[in-house]
Amino acid sequence: MKIFEDEQSRVAVIGTGGSARNFLDIHKPKGRVDFFTSSGEGVFCGKPVNAISKLAALNYDAIVIAIYEYTDLLPALERLSDNPLYWYDNVEKQLLKMNDFCADGQGQLYAEEEILTVVYDFRIAPPTFDFLNFLVHAKLEANRRRLRTLNIIFCPGDKGGFREDIDFFSEEEMHFRFNNLLIPLISLVDPHARFVVCYSRRQAREYFYTATHVFPTDHSFKQPKASHFFSELLRFYNNGTPIAILRASDNAKNKVCQWARARNIDLDNTIVISLRECPAHVERNSVLPVWHKVAKALKSRGYYVVVLRDTDKAMLPLGWEGIFDFPEAALSVHLRFALYELCWFNLMTSNGAQALVSLSQACRYVLFGMYNPTCSSNTEAHLKKIGIIPGTAQRISAAPGQYLDWSDISENNPFAVSDILAAVDKYCH
């Protein structure tokens, strides 16, 4: 190399063994050569050996690592990354330029240019299944831009890291939902996605503004806009892009099948009832006596019936004779969704988990209780806002086997049980 032919050059050699001697014999640097080891003791080739810790403060034209296995030196080498580094391979007798001495590139799945960095801002967004709409929207946008995966930034809100106006969940419950709902949803939408939980809004801004590709492109950290509604996916649907992109993993489906086999449950003849028992918007909650009667009626017709309680009540057994509880699926997004895919049919009220079946082509379902004028999340105006047209038999983008039923299933309707069973007769075939 020309640098070794220059008599004015300064070369640092790390190592004092056979590799260093062979490097000197083959390349014969003509300029000044100094030697370094981790301890900095002794003499080599008539010159004192220096400690590698001093190397960062010195100026060399080339630094040659003449040690075959240099793993123990990586912390010191990291501080030299701005210098021209070479590694002498004493086996192949080659001098190699070191652009990646930590072998970072070998474990890199995606380059920065292939990643869409997205921000979920807890100043405006809730720690609920609404995150799924946002994630699918982000993944569809990444696909549109021909990017390969997502990087999700969680930006803290103004009340314990969450949205200020959420008073129906305790801070502890919101952290539970973050860890056990939101984080698992990421791998459901994009198994290769990564995420970062920021400790300040400033840190989130720095991550977002330094990323190559971002979404939402017009995000305001001062006054963020909500971007977690189903209706925002319709721009893709209207352009011919499928939005029901969720698929249960083989691993999750295998675990659900194991659970079913252990109980002699035939999933092909199973109806799953998902209850809502949440402290938020209690007027949307399932009426347990109604659904108990429905479950018994379905069992009498020869169906296996599995009931998933709300996350808030998942570990409390219902005690409905002959009806199966599956608390593990109530607490695991992946198991819940796999069960929804594998069973014959799903009966659901207006709960967060309906987002899973609504974004799947494989799940068969009827959603009840979507309209409730006493609940702000189920008024006619709000339903239209989130892409649901009151009175229609299917929501926009629904596949065959996916239906809406507008019957009154509240405790005020004495015919709620018969109305639900009539819907089963109509759609579950």
Per the prediction, the chain carries an average pLDDT of: 92
Task: Print burial letters for 217-227: b (CB count within 10 Å at least 16), e (below 16).
Answer: eebeeeebeeb
* Contact criterion met (CB below 8 Å) for 69 and 97: no
CB proximity list for 85: less than 8 A, separation 6 or greater: 63, 65, 77, 97, 98, 101
Q: Considering only CA atoms, which of 225, 244, 204, 233 is closest in space to residue 118?
A: 204
Q: Would you state the pLDDT for residue 101? A: 61
Residues 218, 258 share a domain: no
CATH code (residue 36) = 3.40.50.720
Of 166, 195, 228, the position where a domain reaches its end is: 228
Q: Would you state the pLDDT for residue 392? A: 92
Rounded percentage of the chain residues whose pLDDT exceeds 90:
72
Q: What is the largest CA-CA distance in the chain?
A: 101
Q: Is 39 contained in some domain?
A: yes
Residues 118, 96 share a domain: no
Residues 416, 315 share a domain: yes
Residues 423, 386 share a domain: yes
**Stretch 161-170: mean pLDDT, rounded?**
90
Q: Considering only CA atoms, which of 177, 76, 164 is closest in space to residue 124?
A: 164
Residues 183, 69 share a domain: no
Structure tokens, 342: 């594998």
Q: Would you state the pLDDT for residue 321? A: 96
Q: Is the pLDDT of residue 106 over 60?
A: no
Cα–Cα distance between 260 and 269 in angstroms, integer? 11
Q: Is the pLDDT of residue 412 over 90?
A: no
- pTM of this prediction? 0.78
Q: Is 87 helix (H, G, I), strand (E, B) or coil?
A: strand
CB atoms within 10 A of CB 149: 16
Q: Would you state the pLDDT for residue 205? A: 96
Q: Is 198 helix (H, G, I), strand (E, B) or coil?
A: coil
pLDDT digits (tens, 9 = 90+) for 354-408: 999 999 999 999 999 888 877 777 888 888 877 788 889 998 889 999 999 999 8
What's the structural domain count of the chain?
3
Q: Is the pLDDT of residue 127 over 90?
A: yes
CATH code (residue 219) = 3.40.50
Residues 75, 58 share a domain: yes
CATH code (residue 423) = 3.40.50.2000
Give the residues across from 325 on adjacent strands. Answer: 307
Q: Is 233 contained in some domain?
A: no
CB proximity list for 401: less than 8 A, separation 6 or greater: 364, 365, 427
Residues 415, 287 share a domain: yes
Residues 151, 86 share a domain: no
pLDDT digits (tens, 9 = 90+) for 274-286: 999 988 888 888 9
User: Which region, left, alpha or beta, applies to residue 369 given φ > 0 means left and ψ of -120 to 50 means alpha?
Assistant: left
Q: Is 242 contained in some domain?
A: no
Cα–Cα distance between 274 and 268 in angstroms, integer? 17
Of 104, 127, 159, the position where a domain reaches its end is: 104
**Stretch 161-172: mean pLDDT, rounded?**
90
Residues 116, 97 share a domain: no
**Stretch 164-179: mean pLDDT, rounded?**
91
Residues 400, 323 share a domain: yes
Of 53, 79, 104, the position where a domain reaches its end is: 104
Q: Is 154 contained in some domain?
A: yes
Q: Would you state the pLDDT for residue 297? A: 97
Sheet holding 43-44, edge to edge: 43-44, 47-51, 32-37, 10-14, 62-65, 85-89, 94-97
Q: Would you state the pLDDT for residue 107? A: 58
Rounded percentage of the chain residues whose pLDDT exceeds 70:
97
Indicate the helix (H) or strand (E) that contains 117: strand 115-121
Q: Would you state the pLDDT for residue 256? A: 98
Q: Is 137 contained in some domain?
A: yes
pLDDT digits (tens, 9 = 90+) for 57-104: 888 999 999 998 888 888 888 777 677 889 998 888 888 888 766 666
Residue 19 lies in domain = 8-104
Q: Is 87 contained in some domain?
A: yes
Give the residues across from 142 on adjacent strands. Answer: none
Q: Would you state the pLDDT for residue 100? A: 67
Residues 255, 175 share a domain: no
Q: Is 68 contained in some domain?
A: yes
Q: Is the pLDDT of residue 120 over 90?
A: yes
Residues 155, 42 share a domain: no
* Contact criterion met (CB below 8 Å) for 315 and 329: no
Q: Would you state the pLDDT for residue 105? A: 61
Q: Is 241 contained in some domain?
A: no
Q: Would you state the pLDDT for residue 110? A: 81
Torsion of Cα atoms, 51 then 54 then 58 then 64, to 10°: 40
* Contact criterion met (CB below 8 Å) for 426 and 345: no
